[in-house]
Structure 1
Amino acid sequence: MPSTPIPPITTELPAGADLLTLLSPAFEAPHPSIRHRERVPPDVLRTMEATWAPGRFEERRVSVLRLRDVWVAKEGLVFDRDGALYHRTVTQHSAAEVAGAQAAVREAIARGGATPDRDGPVVLCKKRGVGNYGHWLMEMLPRAHLVHRHRPDLGARVLVADVPGQLRASMAASLALLGIDPARAVVAGDAPRAFGELLLVEGLTDHGAYMSPLVMECVEALAAAVPPRPPRPLLVSRQSVGFRRLVDEDALLMQAMAAGAVPVEPALLPLADQIALFKGASRIAGVMGAALTNIAFAAPGTRVTALAPAGMPDTFFWFIATLRGLDYTEIRCTPSGPVRGNMPWDTDLLLDPEDAAEVLGLESREFPLPDATPVSGCVP
């Protein structure tokens, strides 16, 4: 029988740690347009409705706090010099993960501790989901942007996760577009690291529950120097991902190209090309996933159709669309085949023929999908 994790010893953030306070503006957040709402399991719908229902988010405080002599472990868990967890840094970690991280920190302290990094402040840009491009773009990178914009005098570095090559390249490119030298990134894995001075940004996002309009200041700064591609409809593909794909997607991609749309797999493109494509897009459709985060670069008013597994509890893309002012619709799709990813909704998806017309922006609801040979989902 598995042992129960030992409850962590936690502590409050120290008094007087506030370095900077900003006010995040209030904003209206209309309920999303959802097709096939009846397919969503009741418990999943209740979870999302709790976020959608208010229709407005009031003004909030965003803070930058300065912490001295700390340890950072896992995906952004922060501990004081004695190994007590700052519980406000727990973001979607399980009890077992927290307990394991705290045990590792205490072991490091018992061995005499590592020499803390005292080369100046670092902004914590690690949180749960470090390997996901969307989490980086909308939840981690904006922390670095906020500090570097409002306190450039600090010369702060950026504490980031050790991630695979393609995402690491996108992270470096995004820092460079913001005027932050990628060499200022401190790369760390799950093992405990000691820092003399850590900057903790609070209030920008709460995954699934809140996203500040200040996040869009970071997105706009990223895209400012990138010219848009000519306006074309985009169909965002996940073929190379291997799960949460559309059934018979090859045929849909062929039909998309025949209708003048551009099939694209953003993960296979340099970041500047992704920004340019989405910045110039006349219409965007695709399955919910990291690549669809690029709708954040689309012009206000752009029509976006997000294809979602019926059981996927997600408000992330709705927040992006709301803050960006996009014409946003979700189509909830029937699952097909086995679970191929980490979550129960990571099956392939059946797209109803009448919904395929929505994806391509066709006026007619009649949409026979032809037999077709596979095509690449990426454009150069």
Structure 2
Amino acid sequence: MPPTPLCLPTDADLLVLPSPAFDAPPPRIRHRDRITEDALRAMEGTWSMGRFAERRVSVLRLRDVWVAWEGLVFDRDGALYRDTVTQHSPAEVAEAQDAVLAAVAGGKQTAGQGTTDRDGPVVLCKKRGVGNYGHWMMEMLPRAHLVHSHRPDLEARFLVADAADPLRAVMAESLTLLGIDPSRIVAADGAPRRVAELLVVRGLSEHGVYMSPLVMDCADALSRKVEARAAMMPTARTLFVTRQAAGFRRLVDEDTLLMRAQEAGIVPVEPAQLPLPDQVALFKGASGIAGVMGAALTNIAFAAPGTPVTALAPAGMPDTFFWFIATLRGLDYTEIRCAPAGPVRGNMPWDTDLALDPEDAAGLFGATFATGQTP
């Protein structure tokens, strides 16, 4: 029987920061009536908060622990620290714990398992969703920035997922832009890894429920690094973020819509095709942004306060992630909930194509939106 789950210790803080309170009015939504009952139930509690009170963000030091799967942490005997579960299913937690218990019992001496990493403190920068650009930029990378910027004296290293390209390149580039030397990046797969000194950042985000204003310190730091590049980019352009390469969650007849966008002076972009500094610079100089909800839309975090942003959302997709980003950045944010069209093409039930109503398309791709005004 697995050991009883543990809570993270309350006396292990290396750093405590106040996370400021902030107002969060509900999003402006077109076709709210289309939102499915399950999706609405998942979002309404967060949307209705109105104001998030001041909280604390802390960095805890854990000694002699195991890290497995997507950031699950266990003590030396294989007991799970329940606070490190982030959207993992019970089956995933059980599988990870079985692997850790086997490593503990077997005393394996393969690199990254029985051998303990004793080369100094390591910051946990892994959580559920390691293969997603948005999760990396807004939930994992900010952990690295917080420790690196507030406690450089620790000379910490940073435990990240061993992701595939192109995300691997983005992870390395973003850490380098923050001033973190590549030699301090520890990339690991999901196998159990024993660490002598692990630093765990708590309170920066809870996916779907909370995002700290301190997260934007990381986005601002990246933005400052591309000042010169941003100055060279054409400015005051309205962007339409496409999902051509993804192959799902696209708009019905998207090619025609993109032609209309270009005729209206709107620039179709697929951010994943650009180096990270170019992505930051492009969104930083945008006069308006629209696109289907997806990882690439995370780049609204680099837009100037007040920029109009329109997120085209599947009717059944329960998501507050982009609303949080827009709220913290001070963007003029609107969601258009779209009806599904055709079969499911991705991993989730809302990963169909989306039907955009003619009047909504006219609002997005007409002269009004092309000048940067809210549709």
If the TM-score is normalised by the length of the shorter chain, which range does it land in?
over 0.9
Q: What is aligned with 2:260?
A: 255
CA contact (8 A) 1:173 1:271 kept: yes
Shift of 1:164: 1.0
> What percentage of aligned pairs have identical amino acids?
74
The residue type paired with residue 196 of structure 2 is G
Q: Could you tell me how far apart the structure 2 residues matched to 1:21 and 1:59 are? A: 13
Deviations 1:64-117 (A, max 9, x none): 000000000000000000000001101111111111101100111111141100
Q: What is aligned with 1:313?
A: 318
- How many residues get paired? 359
Q: Which runs of structure 1 show a deviation greater than 4 angstroms over 4 or more consecutive aligned residues?
A: none
CA contact (8 A) 1:8 1:98 kept: no
CA contact (8 A) 2:244 2:250 kept: yes
CA contact (8 A) 1:266 1:291 kept: yes
The residue type paired with residue 356 of structure 2 is L
Q: What is aligned with 1:166?
A: 166
Q: Could you tell me how far apart the structure 1 residues matched to 2:345 and 2:103 are? A: 37
Deviations 1:204-251 (A, max 9, x none): 000000000000001000110213222200000001001100111000
Q: Could you tell me how far apart the structure 2 residues matched to 1:318 and 1:12 are? A: 30
Which among 100, 103, 107 is matched to residue 108 of structure 1?
Answer: 103
Shift of 1:182: 2.3
Which among 341, 344, 364 is matched to residue 346 of structure 2?
Answer: 341
Q: Could you tell me how far apart the structure 2 residues matched to 1:281 and 1:14 are? A: 44
TM-score (norm 2): 0.94
Q: How does 1:145-224 map to 2 (within 5 A)?
A: 145-224=145-224
SS at match of 2:64: strand
The residue type paired with residue 56 of structure 1 is R
Q: Could you tell me how far apart the structure 2 residues matched to 1:27 and 1:234 are? A: 28
Q: What is aligned with 1:370?
A: none
SS at match of 2:259: helix
Q: Could you tell me how far apart the structure 2 residues matched to 1:7 and 1:73 are? A: 15
Unaligned runs of 5+ in 1: 1-5, 365-380
Q: What is aligned with 1:73?
A: 68
Q: What is aligned with 1:128?
A: 128
Q: Could you tell me how far apart the structure 2 residues matched to 1:97 and 1:8 are? A: 16
Q: 1:244 to 1:111 in 2, by over 3 A?
A: same
TM-score (norm 1): 0.93
Q: Could you tell me how far apart the structure 2 residues matched to 1:233 and 1:345 are? A: 27
CA contact (8 A) 2:2 2:79 kept: no
Q: Could you tell me how far apart the structure 1 residues matched to 2:358 and 2:143 are? A: 42
CA contact (8 A) 1:8 1:99 kept: no
Which among 247, 251, 272 is matched to residue 246 of structure 1?
Answer: 251
Unaligned runs of 5+ in 2: 109-113, 370-375
Q: Could you tell me how far apart the structure 1 residues matched to 2:185 and 2:61 are? A: 18
SS at match of 2:117: coil
CA contact (8 A) 1:337 1:347 kept: yes
Q: What is aligned with 2:22?
A: 27
Which among 340, 364, 373 is matched to residue 359 of structure 1?
Answer: 364
Q: Could you tell me how far apart the structure 1 residues matched to 2:151 and 2:364 are? A: 44
